[in-house]
Structure 1
Amino acid sequence: MNIFVNRYFQAAWVLLGLAWAGLIYHLFLLWSGSPDYSSHYVIPLGSCWLIFFHDRERFKSADGGTSLLGYLPLLLGMASIVPAWYILSQVSESTFVFWWLTLGYSLATLSLALCTWGWARTRILFFPILFIFFSLPLPDAIFFSFRTYLQELVTGLATQGLKLSGCEVVRKGFEIHIPSGPLEIVEACSGIRSMTTIPAMAAFVAYYRRFSFGRGVLLFLFSIPIVIFCNTMRIVVTGILQENFGTVVTTGIYHEMLGYGMALLALFITILISNLLATKRTGTQPVIVIPIPEHSPERILSGISCLLIILSSVAASGYLGWKSYSRIWMQDETVSLANLPLKIGEWQGEAQFVDKEISQVLGADQIIRRVYSNPIGHQVHVWVMYWPASSLVKRGHHPEVCLPNRGFKPVSKSVEHLKIGDRQQIVLIEQLFRRENQDQMLHYWTQDGHHFVTEEEVAQQNQLSTSEWILKQFRTTSQQDQVPRIGILIGMPATGPLETTRKTLTKFTVAFARELYNTCPWAVPDGE
């Protein structure tokens, strides 16, 4: 039996499958950029397994047919992905676009199924197709709403758990200090990244066990406390291991293995709860294969129409994406931040490792992180980030986000103008952070080409939601807007008088800026 009815429907499904492959490829790049997404690879595989194996017999035994109602949503779904692919090539804030593309492809897939096989068989595909949404990063509205709450809750619970285990514990912000060293409750450990993985487990188990809608929702709701419990246990176990065996067992592969262990614990708890919710299964019904209607001129015309809709959308998406990428990369200057010298005057630098998660979040093409030391023991920490076009990025590295998560509080902030030449000057933010008896003084600034981005411009940009910002970029960005962006952050621990620290940091910043503009001449500030 030819399940695709005729070769035109078959070609339409192959083409739509290739379009899905393009989206999965971009998601793969996202997943591979952070270990927090390591479990997301399994979700599309789970969808395929449900379609081709688990639901195969149900699909064959369902009534076959066709429906003219599938044409309009197929057209809408495929039309919606054209601007989405274009925008994906324009911006780095891709979460919104990934949801947009997945929604468009899901609508198109279910609509094509409706045209090919009718309602009965299309209904069987609903859950496997919608299950793919669990592989997407959380939308910003959910992510930022829950991030601080979960970090606060998990940090508090883990602190109490470590105290019960006999550890001496001091909490500072989202850091837990035990005798063997600090434990920082970053996003991964707080459970915010598990807010899709563990609920996905619950949804999959509920569907696999044929739960009713009510029991399925109940199991899904149980996944939230499972997220909190498992991530709290992860911190507590990490602290106990660190106390007994040192930090070597809480980093690298050991840390990843602990994360996988907590995922298995979450799956075990989910299955245990599902057993409590399950009812006794009845015997399986015999499978009666209902053939799909024979070829007819109407079915052939239907297949040709679906194929043309999908082909037009894929061709338009490919053309606009290629034009956009070629325009941006033609604007890209030849830049290698690695060429920045390690020796700047009396300061000797040392390259530092940049975590993949940070690179993925910032979306920068190049990031360098260095520590410069002078002969009397002062140290300066330097971050430099480069994007080939300013329109590609909405958020940059901002100390008012990362340092408070580590327990630091802002003390003072001012705009400074530092002369680096006869007519050039840099405009930067000087800010002091304090945590108990520790002070950190920072210099940071962002440039779009020659232009220094002001705090007011950053505030206006941050007031927009990601979707609003992306649509604004889509409407207003022109070829002239595609100037490179560079972000610089220079920090120094204040181990002595603040004025001495300020003078030392200022002197280094001026020297570093001169070397920076030798490497990136397109960013040299305009003269007065």
Structure 2
Amino acid sequence: MPYAVDSAAKVANPEPPLTSLSGAKARLEWLPYASIVLLLVVLYYRVGIKLVYDWSTLPDYSHGFLVPFFVAFLIWDKRKVIQSTPIRQSWLGVPLVVLSLAVLILGIYGVELFTSRMSFIFLMAGLIWTFFGWAMVRVLRFPLLVLILAIPFPAILFNQITFPLQLLASRIASDVLPLLGVPTLHEGNVIELPVMKLEVAEACSGIRSLMSLFTLSVFYGYFLEHTTRRRVILALASIPIAVTANVARIVGTGLCVQYWDPEKALGFFHEFSGWVMFVISLVCLYLVHRAMRLISPEKAQTT
């Protein structure tokens, strides 16, 4: 009879199954990471909302909507390498985390959006270094760098990059137009035609598509090439392609102003030619890629 009572006690108080214990342990292991994600949302949700707004309003950075999806694909594409990378937590990443938070505070209180946005990338690198080790940072370095393409540069820095290219494009266009029967007088980014003055900064914005073209060339190179060197060549090729496309757009605008209608040239043609030249730029990028494969076909096939 005592045996029966003892058996009943065991049935009334069964031991928890091992599967439930392992599941609870796994959830507890992920709790710190979930807490960190929640803190990141609290810290950066205002910065993120403003960034999405800039993507929707700034034509130069409309490609920003594609960057998070591309980064997610990069991480998924490297999933086997990530799983095989040993996890070695390190305190060496903590100084980078602290520095990133300081940069975030300076950016918020200094009203510098670029600084606060860049702090997110530094913070992600620091957190990965701290919780997973430097080897994991090296594996994920390319996705982290790609995130920079979605962050609008400060106007002062962007102008330092694009304005010299606009001057170059306007000078080349002013040399080409006389060959087509349109006399010009070039001064800075202004081309004076017999009919009117053509200001390159307003009449043409081909250089403004430079960041979008550069970003798409990075995407294109990653999907269709297997070597870093050739991917870099494709990305750098987007710069002269953008300049050439801008020259063609300026020349086309000048011809329309001289021989057609200035209002239509700076209205319909200005808007329509922007899309056309961007498509032509993508075609030129494809032709550069094909030329690379024709010049060195064996290297193009190496993995």
The TM-score bracket by the shorter chain reads 0.7 to 0.9
Q: Does 1:267 align with 2:282?
A: yes
2:51 to 27, 37, 59: 27
Instruction: Say which of 89, 111, 133 aligns to 1:67.
Output: 89
1:162 and 2:177 matched = yes
SS at match of 2:220: helix
Question: Is the 2:54–2:61 contact (alpha carbons within 8 Å) kept by the matching residues of 1?
Answer: no
- Contact 1:242–1:250 (CA<8 Å) still a contact in 2? yes
Q: Find the counterpart in structure 1 of residue 222 from structure 2.
A: 207
Aligned to 2:59: 38
Q: 2:272 aligns with which of 244, 248, 257?
A: 257
Q: For residue 140 of structure 1, what is the amino acid of its counterpart?
A: I
**Residue of 196, 220, 231 corresponding to 1:181:** 196
- Asked whether the equivalents of residues 166 and 189 of structure 2 are also in contact (C-alpha less than 8 Å), the reply is yes
TM-score under structure 2 normalisation? Answer: 0.73
Taking the aligned partners of 1:3 and 1:282, their CA distance within structure 2 comes to: 43
- Deviation of residue 214 (structure 1)? 2.8
Per the alignment, residue 107 of structure 1 pairs with: 122
Uncovered stretches (5+) of structure 1, i.e. residues with no partner: 89-96, 284-528
Other-structure match for 1:80: 103
CA deviation vs aligned residue, 1:405-424 (integer Å, no higher than 9, x gap): xxxxxxxxxxxxxxxxxxxx
Give the aligned length. 270
SS state at 1:219 partner: helix
When residues 3 and 54 of structure 1 are mapped into structure 2, their CA distance, relative to the original with a 3 A threshold, is farther
Question: CA separation in 1, counterparts of 2:43 and 2:204?
Answer: 35
Which residue identity is paired with 2:272?
Answer: M
Partners of 1:237 and 1:130 lie apart in 2 by 37
Name the structure where strand makes up a greater proportion of residues. 1
Q: Secondary structure at the match of 2:128?
A: helix
2:208 paired residue number: 193
1:431-475 Cα offsets, whole Å, 9 max, x none, are xxxxxxxxxxxxxxxxxxxxxxxxxxxxxxxxxxxxxxxxxxxxx
Cα RMSD after superposing both structures:
3.4
Which letter does structure 1 place at the counterpart of 2:48?
Answer: I
The one-letter code sitting in structure 1 at the alignment partner of 2:61 is: H
Contact 2:170-2:189 at 8 Å conserved across structures: yes
Contact 2:205 2:246 in 1 (8 A): yes
Helix, strand or coil for the counterpart of 1:183?
strand
In structure 2, relative to structure 1, the CA distance for the partners of 1:219 and 1:23 (3 Å cut) is same
Write the deviation string for residues 477-515 of structure 1: whole angstroms up to 9, x where unpaired: xxxxxxxxxxxxxxxxxxxxxxxxxxxxxxxxxxxxxxx
Deviations 1:245-266 (A, max 9, x none): 4134334464233222222222
Preserved CA contact (<8 Å) 2:71 2:143: yes
| CA drift at 1:120 | 4.9
Write the deviation string for residues 198-242 of structure 1: whole angstroms up to 9, x where unpaired: 333333333333543333333333233222211111111222333
- Per the alignment, in what secondary structure is the counterpart of residue 260 of structure 1? helix
Instruction: Give the Cα–Cα distance (whole angstroms) in 1 for the partners of residues 79 and 156 of structure 2.
Output: 37
Q: 1:46 to 1:70 in 2, by over 3 A?
A: farther
- Inter-CA distance 273–20: structure 2 relative to 1 (3 Å threshold): farther
> Which range is displaced more, 8-17 or 119-128?
119-128
**Runs of 4+ residues over 6 Å off in structure 1:** 1-4
Partners of 2:272 and 2:143 in 1: how far apart? Answer: 29
Please point out which of 16, 27, 32 is paired with 2:40: 16
Letter in 2 for 1:48: P
1:137 match: secondary structure: coil
CA distance, structure 2, for counterparts of residue 162 and residue 116 of structure 1: 60
SS in 2 for 1:186: helix
Higher relative contact order (CA 8 A, sep 6+): 1
Correspondences of 1:340-351 after superposition (within 5 Å): none
Cα separation, 1, equivalents of 2:28 and 2:203: 43
- AA at the equivalent of 1:212: T
Q: Deviations over 1:66-112 (max 9, x none)?
A: 42233332222123211210111xxxxxxxx3332233111111222
- After TM superposition, give the deviation of residue 158 of structure 1 in Å: 1.0
Residues 163 and 255 from structure 1, CA distance in 2 versus in 1: closer, same or farther, beyond 3 angstroms? same
Partners of 2:28 and 2:148 lie apart in 1 by 26
Q: What do residues 350-377 of structure 1 show as CA deviations (whole Å, max 9, x unaligned)?
A: xxxxxxxxxxxxxxxxxxxxxxxxxxxx
Alignment correspondent of 2:14: none
CA distance in 2, matches of 1:204, 1:53: 11
Partner of residue 159, structure 2: 143
How far apart, CA to CA, are the structure 1 residues paired with 2:41 and 2:244? 39
Distance verdict in 2 for CA 1:255–1:21, change over 3 Å? farther
Task: Give secondary structure in 2 for the equivalent of 1:67.
Answer: coil
